[in-house]
Amino acid sequence: VRMGRGGLLGRPMKISSVERNVLLCVLRTSRDGPIFIETVKEWSGSSRDVVRRVFEKFNLKDGEMLGSDDLLRIAVTLFGMNVSPEVLSVSLDWSLFEELTSRIFENAGLNIMRNIQISIGKNKTQIDLLAFNEDTLYIVECKRWRRSITIGLIKTIESAMKRRILIMREFLSKTIGEGEFEIRLIPLLLTVYGSPYFDDVLFHSPLRTLKSFLSEPAVSLPSPPLLKMRLKEPLMTCSLQSPYLKHLRRRLFD
């Protein structure tokens, strides 16, 4: 379970636009094996001194493979400089990419819970990611579809999303209790590619538009697919800690 802003990823380093280009070339060359200053110099068109400075700033070693921590630190820095998640995803495996995805939600000021299972009686469901503040809960399904994302493809998961929403509403009613505090539930399908879309069941956002989507006030979103319910108290962290909600050890993307 992961809570709060910044979290495990820390703060991105401040770099220049020239260093940004060098880091992108570091990521690209790392796909083929060890990274070399001379290769990055040729790919980036930067001087050897600039490339060496970037290697030193990020504690990179000439002729060595990038470790997971190196990749994540570079990705977070580039993400902070508005490099698209699609570009970064090519160089990251999915366990690292889920960290980057969570960063987008955290930067929007949301608490995060990942890879969870909810059980209420005989009803069970798995949810890739919950992102929430006091009065808004994003119920997120993450897909790494690489084929063309059509409305027909999106609709193939809608029955499962409806079921998740119903179970989540029952879970909240049972663990927190119904009351006067209005809560907004936002079912969200998140993909790497595609175009924004919504219907009566869910919102769809590709990664490139996720920050923009999260910047929209929840009160301005269409309902449905946004759903409302009233609880006794806000969605504080303690409210979501329950024997009915289990942390799963599995990847965010299936």
- Whole-prediction pTM: 0.75
Domains of the chain by residue range: 8-92, 108-247
Gap between the Cα atoms of 79 and 10, Å rounded: 13
Phi-psi region of 111 (alpha: psi -120 to 50; beta: other; left: phi over 0): beta
Which residues make Cβ contacts (< 8 Å) with residue 69, sequence separation at least 6? none
Beta-ladder partners of 204: 189, 197
Show pLDDT as tens, one digit a residue, over the chain (254 residues): 333 333 334 455 778 889 999 999 998 888 888 999 999 999 999 999 999 999 999 999 999 998 877 887 888 788 778 787 667 766 666 666 667 778 788 888 999 888 888 888 888 888 988 999 999 999 999 887 766 788 888 999 999 999 999 999 998 988 888 999 999 999 999 887 788 999 999 999 988 788 889 999 998 999 999 999 999 988 875 556 665 565 543 333 33
85 in Cβ contact with 79 (< 8 Å): yes
CATH fold label, 108-247: Trna Endonuclease; Chain: A, domain 1 (3.40.1350)
Beta-ladder partners of 4: none
- Amino acid at the residue 181: F
